[in-house]
A and B are shown apart, each in its own frame.
Chain A
C-alpha cells in the first residue's frame, strides 16, 4: 500500500458500552471521502447508524475527525468536524458541529485521524489519549463540573500541553442546546448532549508524533508563502475598512480593521496594528482587529490581542480584558468571536457601550463553562420575542414567572444572563427546560403559531429548527439555496467570503465569471436579478467547497479564495489552493476538479443520509422549504427592486429547479438520481436507497 503524508493513517474506535478500543486503517476505509472531517463522519453514519436511530441512543455514533491537513502549517487548518445525529432537529437527522482550536492538530500528533465513539458508558467517563495509549477513565470527579475545571483537571493529569474537548453541565443534563468546547473559546454547537447521553464527559489528547509533509521542504515553504500572499482579513475581506496608503479601495463593512493609530489597547504595552500592507506577511495577524468589529470603537481599549486556531495567521478571536465585569464573579479576561459572544444577546445591550462588553464577558464565561449553545443566536432572539408577546406569562405558572428576575432583564443587568444560563443548563422549571429544547420543540410545547414564527423578520427562523445563516443577504437565491440543504444552520461561508470581499461589483463579477461562466452569477447585495443557471452553479460550488473544507480541514470562514488583496493580480485569488495543499501534504496529486468531485461525493452522502433518515425522497416538499419572511419586505418593496433582500416565490422555485439540475438531482423530489450517485462513486448508497424506495 502506498504511504502518504498528512494522514496519521489510523482511526480510533472507542466502544463505551463494551470498553473495547480498536484502530482501523484510514486510507483503506476512508480515502474516497478524503479520510477526514465530515467525509469520515458521514461515511461512518451511513455504514453504522441505521435510520430511525435517535441522537441519544447508544447505537448513535459521534465522530471527531480532522483530516490530512490538520496539524500541518497549511494556513487555517484548525477545524475538528464532529458528526452525529443532530439532537435539535425534530427527526434527529445527521448534522455536524465544528470546532477550531488545537484539538485536531493534537489528535494528529497523537497519531489519529479521527475518533469514533459508540455505546454508552455505565458511569461517567473520559477518554484519555496519549499517542497510542488510549484509556477510558473514570470521570465521576469531573461530572457536574463546568468545562473550565474539567479541562484543567484533565490537563493536570495528562500534562498541560494536552488538548481537551469537553461538555459542561448542559450536555450532561441532556439539554439539546448544548455544545462541546475546546481551547477555552472554540465550540462545536448542538452536540453536547450526545456526549452526555453516552456518559462521556471529555476527550483529552496529547501527542508526541509528527505529521509528514510529502512535498519537498522548499516547495512546501514556497507554497505557504504564496498562499499567505493571497490572504485577506477574517472572512477573506480583501480591502480595508478605512482608506490605507496601500489600498485602492475600502469598505465600511470590512473586517480588515487595522490602521495606523489603531491599537490592541489592553496589551502590555499597547500594540499598534499599523496599516498592514498585504505584502507584509509579518502583520497578517493585525489586519483583523476583531475587538473593533465585534464591539465597536470601544472594543479597542479592552482588546489584549487576537487569538484563533492552530496554524492560522488570520486570527479572528479576540482576547478581551474587561476588569469591571469581575464584579459579576467572572474573570475579566474573555476570549471569543462573532456569535461566540452570544451570551450578551440574552440582554439587549447597545453596541459600543461598556455594558455590552460586560455582558459579553459574563455571557462568554457562563455559556462556555456550562456548555450551552445558542443555535446561531436564535435563543436570545426567541427570549426577547416571546417576552414581548407575553408568552412566558401565559405558559409559566405564576410562581415560576415571578421567580425569573425580569427586573434585571429589563435593566440589562448581566446577572440575568447568569440566572438564565443556569435555568437552561440545569433544566430548572418549565422555562429552563423549554428554552433548552430548541425552537421547533418549543413551538410544539407551547403551541406557538409556526406560521407566525416563519414570517418573523426578527427571528429569521429558516426551516428545520434553525435560523438563517448567510441566506438572502448573501447572494440572494444563492444564499437561500445553500440554507435549505442542512439539518442545522448551514454554516456555509464559501459564498459570503467572496461576496463580502469589499471589492467593487465589477471586479467581483469579473472574478466570478471566470469560475461560474458568467458575471450574472454575481449580484450586488440587496439588488438582485432573477435566477439564472450561473447562480445555481455558484450555490453548488459553495456547498461542495464547504464539505471539502470541513474534511481537509481548512477553515470555511476563510476559504475559498476567489479574490485576493493584490491589485497586481487584478485582485484574483486562487481557487486551487485546496488542491495544491492537499497534493503537497499527502503526495496524492489531485487537481481542483478531482478534489471537487470528492467534495460532491461527500455532499451527496449527506443528502442520502437525510433522505434515509426522513424515510422519504420528497426533499423538495418536506426538507428544502423556504421561510415566509423571505418573501415579504418589511417596507413593502418588491422582489428585484434595489434596496431589498426580498425574494420572489416563483423565482425561488425556478432556483430549486436549476440547482437540482446542476447537481444531477431529480427535479420533482430533489433527491439524487441513481446515475448521479453511481457517477460519484456511491453505488452502494444508491443500491440501499433503491431497495428502500428512496430513489426518484
Chain B
C-alpha cells in the first residue's frame, strides 16, 4: 500500500468515527427526511446496507454505499473514455453532460473555471492536471437525496449507492443544486435526473479507463481528497460542512 493510500484510509477512518457521533446528535434534523431511524449499535464502518427502512423513533442509521470510486489525477490523461462509457453503456448514448463522472468541465481550466493567471492553475491551459470528479457516495447526510422533494433518490439494493428512481423523479433539478460537488444532472432529453449508482458494483468508468486512474474501492470518506467545485453551493448546504471538508 502506498503512503498516499495509507493516508487516505487514516483520514477516512477519523472522519467516519467523527461522523457517527454527529449523526446521532443530529437526529432531529434528520427526522422527516428520507431516513428512518434504527439502532446504531453493531454497525460496522464498512458494513453493508443495514436495515435502512427501520422503525420510527430510534436513532438514525448510516445508510451507505458499499463502494466508492477513487480517482487519481496524476494518472488521468484526459481522454474522457470514462465519461463516455458512463452514458454509452447505461443510456446507449454519448452524453458527458449527464455523465456521473465529470472530466469535460475540468479539462481546460480546472474545477474553478477560467481564472486570471490560468497558466498557473489546473487544466490543460495551466499545469495540465485534470481532476476527475466523481460522486462521493455521501454516507450521511446525503445532500442530493435529502433535498429531493419527491423522495426519488433511493438506496440501490445491490451497492447501497443512492440512485434515481426515475418513476418518481420530476426533473425539477433541486438535487443538482444540493450536491456540493454538482454530481447530479438533469438529462435535457429525458427530463430525469442522473446520479452515480456504481453500475451494480462494476462501474463502467473504471472499466473504461486506459490508464488505471480510477479504482473501485470500499467506501471511505473521500471528501478531503477531492476539490470542491463551487464553494458557494457547498456553503448553501451548511450541514455538509459539519462532517465534510469543503474548503
Contact = CB atoms under 8 A, between A and B. Distances in A.
Chain A bound to chain B: yes
Interface of A: 71-73, 102, 105, 109, 148, 151-152, 155-156, 159-161, 163, 183-185, 207-213, 216-217, 220-221, 228, 267-269, 271, 281-286, 304-313, 315, 319, 321, 331, 333, 335
B211 A102 contact: no
B189 to A, nearest CB: 6
A208 B95 CA distance: 8
Nearest to A155: B114
Interface of B: 4, 74-81, 84-85, 87-98, 104-105, 107-109, 113-114, 118-120, 124-128, 188-189, 204, 208-212
Contacts of A321: 127
A307 B128 contact: yes
Contact of A209 (B104, B189, B208, B212): B189
B74 A335 contact: no
B212 A283 contact: yes
Contacts of A221: 85, 88-89, 204
A148 B125 contact: yes
B89 A184 contact: no
Given A105-B80, A156-B114, 14 more contacts: A71-B94, A73-B84, A156-B113, A184-B124, A208-B188, A210-B189, A213-B92, A221-B85, A282-B211, A283-B212, A310-B79, A311-B80, A315-B77, A335-B124
B7 to A, nearest CB: 12
Contacts of B77: 285, 305-308, 315
Contacts of B95: 109, 209-211
Contact of A160 (B81, B84, B113): B113
A435 B47 CA distance: 69
A306 B210 CA distance: 12
B109 A152 contact: yes
Contacts of B189: 209-210
Contacts of B211: 282-286, 315
Contacts of A163: 108
A283 B79 CA distance: 13
21 contacts: A71-B94, A73-B81, A109-B96, A152-B114, A155-B114, A160-B108, A161-B107, A208-B97, A209-B95, A209-B97, A211-B94, A213-B93, A221-B88, A268-B74, A285-B211, A305-B76, A307-B128, A308-B77, A310-B79, A313-B81, A315-B79
Contact of A184 (B76, B97, B108, B208): B108
Given A161-B107, A307-B124, A333-B128, A102 B210 contact: no
B108 A305 contact: no
Contacts of A267: 74-75
Contacts of A308: 77-79
A148 to B, nearest CB: 7
Nearest to B82: A73
Given A72-B84, A73-B84, A210-B87, A282 B79 contact: no
Given A307-B124, A335-B128, A212 B119 contact: no
Nearest to B74: A267
A217 B85 CA distance: 10
B188 to A, nearest CB: 5
A161 B114 contact: no
B80 A152 contact: no
